[in-house]
Amino acid sequence: MPDRRTAEGAASPKRTPFTGSGTRIAKAIAPHLTRLVSPALCRAIEVYVAVLQGKGAGTGWDMRGEIRAAQRFVQNHKLTIFDVGAHYGDWTRKIARILTYPAAFYLFEPQSDCLPHLRDLPPDSIIIRSALGSSISQGHLYMDVVGSGAASLLERRDTYFGDMTANSESVSITTIDAVMDEYKVAQVDLLKLDIEGAEMMALQGATTALDRGAITTVAFEFGSANLSSRTIFRDFWDLLVEDHGFAIWRIRPGGRLIPQTEYTEEQEHYRGVSNYIASRIPPAP
């Protein structure tokens, strides 16, 4: 006799890609395919399929797609945009060209070698020569070469970049809350975070703004640098979705969006960088 509790009340196990009768053949032939398909080919297919889903696709080669995705969330009034990790200012210049509403830009870039490149910016732009963190302090920015686009407050050990501590620079660290208070910013329509693993630290410095709903949309990276900060994707999910009511989308190549309707361990993807948008509002079509 079947257990009535299981039949009538217990939740059925959650289905995974390898449950159900439809996968029996795939499981049966897998041992044979391993003899035919080399590990190198498997790896290439794995990486490419992940990139098509936006996993590891955010290494800078598709900035146009990233900007196109962000644009869908900021098209209804005069905007305030924080470009955190501005580097040479390319992201600000490119999104400013396609916005249909005027915008005030705040560019955060602590690297002294990047500052000469922050020119030809939109008229209403303010450069803030500080890194962002969870509190106001002093710190060091570490980089493989001066002016690096991968410079970080963290002593990164990514295998891709090599020695990320070959060069360093003393920098000031401020917070989003402090900047909004100093410059009398009531609302941030788009907060772009590209700060090589320190994104959660920056969000922890925006407690007041998040609590009062003063940040509408956050574009952030997640990937290998988060291993150095010991930050997992679940931390972003808990803070933004569970605590503050954001929805999250992952950006695919070309700027297409994949809604992240629930947290799964598949989002803990550390090969390269994946780009996400968290917003309190839905994207425009």
Give pLDDT tens digits for 104-113.
999 999 999 9
Pairwise CA distance, residues 197 & 211, whole Å: 23
Q: Which of 61-65, 113-117, 237-241 is the least confident region?
A: 61-65
Which candidate, 13, 72, 47, 14, places its Cα nearest to that of 263? 14
Residue 143 falls within a domain, yes or no?
A: no
Q: For the whole model, what pTM was predicted?
A: 0.88
- Predicted confidence (pLDDT) at residue 217 exceeds the cutoff of 90: yes
| pLDDT score of 4 more than 70 | no
- Asked if the model's pLDDT at residue 166 lies above 60, the reply is yes
* Rounded average pLDDT over 139-163: 89
What is the rounded average pLDDT of the residues 139-147? Answer: 93
Helix residue ranges per DSSP H, 37-111: 39-52, 63-71, 90-98
Range of 121's domain?
61-129+183-279
Quote the pLDDT of residue 14. Answer: 57
In a domain, 4, yes or no: no
pLDDT tens figures, 75-123: 778 899 999 999 999 999 999 999 988 999 999 999 999 999 999 999 9
* CATH number of residue 263's parent domain: 3.40.50.150
Q: What is the DSSP letter of 119?
A: -
Compute how many other C-beta atoms are within 10 angstroms of the C-beta atom of residue 10: 10
CA distance 181 to 48: 44
Q: How confident is the model at residue 21, as a pLDDT? A: 59
Q: Has residue 92 been placed in a domain?
A: yes
DSSP H/E element including 84: strand 79-84
Q: What is the pLDDT of residue 158?
A: 83
Q: How many domains does the chain have?
A: 1
Please tell me the distance from the alpha carbon of residue 195 to that of residue 109, in angstroms, as a whole number: 10
What length is written for the chain? 285
Average pLDDT score over the chain = 90
Residue 16 lies in a domain: no
Judge whether 233 lies within some domain: yes
Among 275, 273, 274, which residue's Cα sits nearest to residue 150?
273
| 177 part of a folded domain | no
Structure tokens belonging to residue 103: 């915008």
Q: Is residue 258 part of a domain?
A: yes
Q: Compute the average pLDDT of residues 29-49.
A: 88
- Can you name the residues that pair with 84 across neighbouring β-strands? 108, 193
Rg (CA), the chain: 21
- Give the C-alpha separation, 257 to 177, whole Å: 29
Residue 49 located in a structural domain = no
